[in-house]
Chains A and B, each alone.
Chain A
């Protein structure tokens, strides 16, 4: 629409564009002609700048004029503007399907890329949805609120989920809008001694009304009285199984160190749904007074109450606004000259998904985590969409005739735009199925990986599915809008003549940058995966300083060690039996404070109770001293065998430390009778700590059997029969020590899986992007290649020439990323694993090899194909 002969002077572009944009589909040729005519006569009369101003005025006057409105209204009833007919849609569908089927490889590449990109997004969507579902299972959910404290001092605002006990004690006397108030104190934790085992247990102190407000049904026990008496405890099903091995425990007693004996008054069903309140036991609130009397007197200091929470149930028909004034009154009571307090209500349903508040109960999936996820999502999805756009546009040459034909027959820009979006949508829909499939695979892994994720329910239900479909539409717009715009702008004549050029998304520099970036990302992830894999095997095969081969561990569960020893030594497969209080090489919290020799200071020392045969069985070597004297009276002095690190921490040489005595808590004295070499009594992630062995048969909880591993299954069955004869209440466990130790390093599998999956995603998407670029370049160079061949270039020469640029890009990515990744992972590994393996040449080379291989296959597959083309076909039409 250029004005011939007036090229030097044109009306202001922007105004013209605005005018045509506003006009839409209305016919305005004559109006614009009028304006232009006036403009040029104005230019002659008043000069350009004034003419421009006047033109703008004219445009504005026309744009909002009745003339244009009426023309637009008329145009809206013409056939062109009417909604797209089913026949046309059917035609789009048919053409799209044909195109997809004809270019199978392209379609598969695109579908794959988009599926991968979308799968992570689906994870984000379901995660978000499931966080929104928290605490929706409470019958009274709309009336339950928690009270938060906002502390303002010196212009600093701090939000706490806790409140001073004064609030829950007196809230009901300030207002009558509240049905129930409960105090929750999450400070309950301790070591339970059940038989010979000490097991950690934690939970909440709650008053009886807790079970009225929240919906936590009991399997056994009386809901109204279970939390009445001090020292009563309700266990969840899981906790009961963990502590007792069965749930038939109502009325049983649990003994907690330093707290007293508790009566089990109820068993709670495991959660009916996801809740921000995470607990394995509920203890009556009256216990708190019994354990620490006078606690509630010091309500002024809200900070003292880091464990105290207030929840309330509104009366039916009351609104939270009605509590504003009473809460303000209480806040004023609590405020002092230094700090002002404010009390706010928060509905129970948005605690989990809400902001991060200090001291909040339970896991919080705060916005930062979500933001990280969304970022990851975008890092993966955006390149996938760009690649799609690039690939589609690279095929412009092949499709230009179709578009030209459509245009000549009368297709408008809009029709072609819609057709291409439609095509993208079909691809995306197919990709959505792929994405859902991938999502179901990664879901399990993800849940196993994230702490607190066991509460997340990531199943696909109707609302999630709707969100998925909406997301697919969004993706098709994101991926399809650029190629669709590009194709709809194609000129009919030039595209029919075959002069269409392959489209390209960005300037070449930017595109190269994108490719390099994608390959950097891939390299980074692949490197991570490889580094973690080698670390994992290194940890498993690390020499931990004892012999773990061919040992079976059986937990005693309160059966006397003598009985086990007697019964199991009859088996011919069993050569030795030893007992211990723990398993070396696993996590342990069994620490004791030992006063150091010279200074008035204490060192935390890990301890394990064992017998002499255990030391022998495991192959611990005494460097100095002797082993335990097993029937010695140890009432006032116990025997300990220490490790080298213990000696070092006491600043004593190994030969000096023998026969030295140390003071332990409860007035015990320990005499060193032997020194052993350091061994990894903790997993290899942790540094070796000061450690000693003690001898006390009453503390034994594991039997270790040296077993001939010829017929493992037979042996296991025999052992089990024997066990059932001894104890039919607790299921029998049979594990090899090696497996137990290796299971600890399963946590290292998580980063491997994560990096593995991410590298798989990143690499696939990067290679797809590269493929798109190579294809595009080859299509543009068809004639050049033809001419070179005619002039005598051989296929290998051409291939090299064509591939060079791309291989350089990949090389650049490697050069950038390898040192960076090396530094990052070295730093990370040292943080995670104390006895780590430094990243070696093997890891670096293998990541380079994998990447180069994938990239080269991608590049050469296309360049060789192009180099082999017959030049005659491509040069014929010149």
Chain B
């Protein structure tokens, strides 16, 4: 079931998009922590990523072993086309709503 994207899922997807080739677990985690200023446990992040992968929004591949992390490989994430589509839908929905509520919100 292709579905609806939750708020945190959207955040994760966007962050992966921002990080591009360097999107792996810790990078995503730290990026979200800095930008959104919220604490996330590694478990929560990986659970979300797993769910996104199962929904078909993300693909992942293992990187090459390097000197860092004691030779342990990283898992890199990529957005799929359907993720981009879903994000775009989300954005347009938001824009529409923003435009409609423009009067209310801009006064503050």
Contact = CB atoms under 8 A, between A and B. Distances in A.
Interface in A290-342: none
B72 interface: yes
B42 A35 contact: yes
A58 B25 contact: no
B47 A65 contact: yes
Given A57-B41, A67-B47, A6 B75 contact: no
B41 A61 contact: yes
Contact of A71 (B29, B43, B50, B69): B50
A32 B42 contact: no
A37 interface: yes
B71 to A, nearest CB: 7
Contacts of B32: none
Contact of B70 (A3, A34, A60): A3
A57 B41 CA distance: 8
A3 B67 CA distance: 10
Given A3-B70, A4-B70, A67-B47, A34 B54 contact: no
Nearest to A30: B75
A102 interface: no
21 contacts: A1-B70, A2-B70, A29-B72, A30-B25, A30-B72, A33-B69, A33-B72, A34-B25, A34-B26, A34-B42, A34-B74, A35-B42, A36-B70, A37-B26, A62-B42, A64-B43, A65-B46, A67-B49, A67-B50, A68-B43, A70-B50
Contact of A61 (B44, B49, B50, B72): B44
Given A37-B26, A61-B42, A66 B72 contact: no
B62 interface: yes
A29 B26 contact: no
Given A30-B73, A65-B47, A58 B42 contact: yes
A38 interface: yes
A33 B73 contact: yes
Interface of B: 24-26, 29, 41-44, 46-47, 49-51, 54, 62, 68-75
Q: Looking at chain B's contact residues, is the secondary structure mostly helix, strand, loop, or mixed?
A: helix
A29 B50 CA distance: 15
A460 interface: no
Given A33-B73, A36-B70, A67 B46 contact: yes
A295 B25 CA distance: 92
A31 interface: yes
A340 B50 CA distance: 69
Contacts of B43: 58, 60-65, 67-68
A31 B70 contact: no
A739 to B, nearest CB: 85
Nearest to B46: A67
A33 B42 contact: no
Contacts of A61: 41-44
Contacts of B25: 30-31, 33-34
Contacts of A1: 70
Interface string A689-714: 00000000000000000000000000
B47 A33 contact: no
Given A4-B70, A30-B72, A58 B26 contact: no
Contact of B69 (A36, A57, A68): A36
A2 B71 CA distance: 10
B103 to A, nearest CB: 42
Contacts of A4: 70-71
Nearest to A63: B43
Given A30-B75, A66-B47, A67-B46, A38 B70 contact: no
